[in-house]
Amino acid sequence: MNKRLDKVRWWEYLGFGGVFMAVLCLCVCVGSVNIPLSETVTVISNALLRQPQPEGLAPAIILTVRLPRVLCVALTGAALSLAGAAMQGLLKNPLADGSTLGVSSGAALGAVIAIAFGLNFSAVPFAGTMIMAILFALGSLLIILGLAYKLDYSLATNTIILIGVIYSMFVSSAMSVIVTFAADKVQQITFWTMGSLQGSSYENAAVLAAVLLVCGGVLLASAQELNAFAVGEDNARHIGVNVRRTKLVVLITVSVLIGVCVSIGGTIAFVGLVTPHMVRMIVGPNHRRLLPSSLFGGAVFLLLADLVARILLNPQELPIGVVTSLVGAVVFVFIFYNTRKGQ
């Protein structure tokens, strides 16, 4: 039997890859101190080849400040966008993203508790904020799925969305209560809940890359099932999709992605919601193309947002979540308006 893989549009990925690399270079070069592209390339290649670095501040700025940050931003954007695209397919709801489930808020609560009460795990290499955020993300998922399962054995998407929204509200109230007990850390908490990847390290980037590799693989392998869900949950069951198993796999994978992203960069809104929309306009709704393209789309979107956050009020820096929300809201209204007009 002559078998072949579903058509892959290589030119799309070449285009996305090209744009991604261009934006990545731009974000490493541009900042409070602009560094020419040629010098940036020299510094990075010297670092990779373990050659001596040129004189001046450029190597320190690029290698210890910008590169780890830009890598974290790109990976976080890719992860959030992928999670959003998967959730929008699974729940057949274009307004869904990682935060719809409530896991994002849960992770934020964990991190806020860690900051407010100064929790630190000295035995582990990463800060208490990260561990608490991941633990709370998984705990939130268990609570949400447990409640949804109790109410509705089939885990209907409407039940999941409703419980996610209610859970998010509950968690934001809990965060407000905690903030009142930790008045001295309000500024730190506020900045963090708005999202920021300032001070990201190579270790953060390595964690993000590892998680994205595993979770991304799982989600990409579920592309066909997500297509079926995007057409309709009952239809998915009728064509042979194991509906409950697919839901559990996708929800757990998305929760891990969100938990890790929130633990490193805080709650960054709108990336998971807007980017899949934009990418869907280019490559269509088929998840075999949409999911990999969303990785590039999310990375580019968040890199540009981070660049704006860094240079707009230079030397002051805006929280990245503020930029994504501002830009995302406008872009979303624009897309929504055009889509409706088109129909």
Partner 1 sequence: MADMLDVQKLSVRLGNLDIVKDLSFTVAEGDWLMIVGPNGAGKSTALSAITQGVDYTGRVLFEGEDVAKMKPVRRAQCMGVLTQSHFVGYAFTVEEVVRLGRYAYAPGLLSNRSDDDDEAVEEALALTGMAAQRKQSVLTLSGGELQRTFLAQVFAQQPRLLLLDEPTNHLDLVYQKQVFSLIERWLQKPGRAVVSVVHDLSLVKAFGTAAVLLRHGQTVATGAIDEVLTAKNLNPVYNMDVAAWMRQMLSQWAADDNTADNIIEEKIC
* Interaction site with partner 1 (CB under 8 A): 1-6, 92-94, 153, 221, 224, 227-228, 230-232, 234-235, 237-243, 280, 284-286, 343
213/276 Cα distance (integer angstroms): 19
DSSP 297-328: HHHHHHHHHHHHHHHTTTTS---HHHHHHHHH
- CB 241 to partner 1: min, Å: 6
Give the count of beta carbons closer than 10 Å to the beta carbon of residue 37: 12
Q: Specify whether the backbone of 9 is left (phi greater than 0), alpha (psi in -120 to 50) or beta.
A: beta
For residues 166 and 221, which CB has a smaller minimum distance to partner 1 in the complex? Answer: 221
For residues 46 and 227, which CB has a smaller minimum distance to partner 1 in the complex? Answer: 227
- CB 343 to partner 1: min, Å: 7
Q: Are 39 and 310 in contact (CB under 8 A)?
A: no
For residues 228 and 251, which CB has a smaller minimum distance to partner 1 in the complex? Answer: 228
Output the CA–CA distances (angstroms, integers) from residue 137 to 42, 60, 106, 204, in the order listed. 41, 35, 5, 18
For residues 185 and 237, which CB has a smaller minimum distance to partner 1 in the complex? Answer: 237
Output the CA–CA distances (angstroms, integers) from residue 320 to 72, 172, 181, in the order listed. 12, 20, 26
For residues 3 and 50, which CB has a smaller minimum distance to partner 1 in the complex? Answer: 3
DSSP conformational letter for 124: S
SS3 state at 155: coil
The answer for residues whose C-beta is within 8 angstroms of residue 143's C-beta and 6 or more apart is 106, 167
For residues 78 and 90, which CB has a smaller minimum distance to partner 1 in the complex? Answer: 90
- CB 243 to partner 1: min, Å: 8
- CB 6 to partner 1: min, Å: 6
- CB 223 to partner 1: min, Å: 9
- CB 89 to partner 1: min, Å: 8
111/259 Cα distance (integer angstroms): 10
For residues 66 and 287, which CB has a smaller minimum distance to partner 1 in the complex? Answer: 287
- CB 79 to partner 1: min, Å: 21
- CB 237 to partner 1: min, Å: 7
302/148 Cα distance (integer angstroms): 32
For residues 107 and 228, which CB has a smaller minimum distance to partner 1 in the complex? Answer: 228
- Please name which of 288, 295, 154 lies closest in space to residue 230, comparing C-alpha atoms: 288
For residues 2 and 38, which CB has a smaller minimum distance to partner 1 in the complex? Answer: 2
Q: Are 172 and 99 in contact (CB under 8 A)?
A: no
Is cis: bond before 315, omega within 30 of 0? yes
- Please name which of 343, 208, 324 lies closest in space to residue 273, comparing C-alpha atoms: 324
- CB 207 to partner 1: min, Å: 25
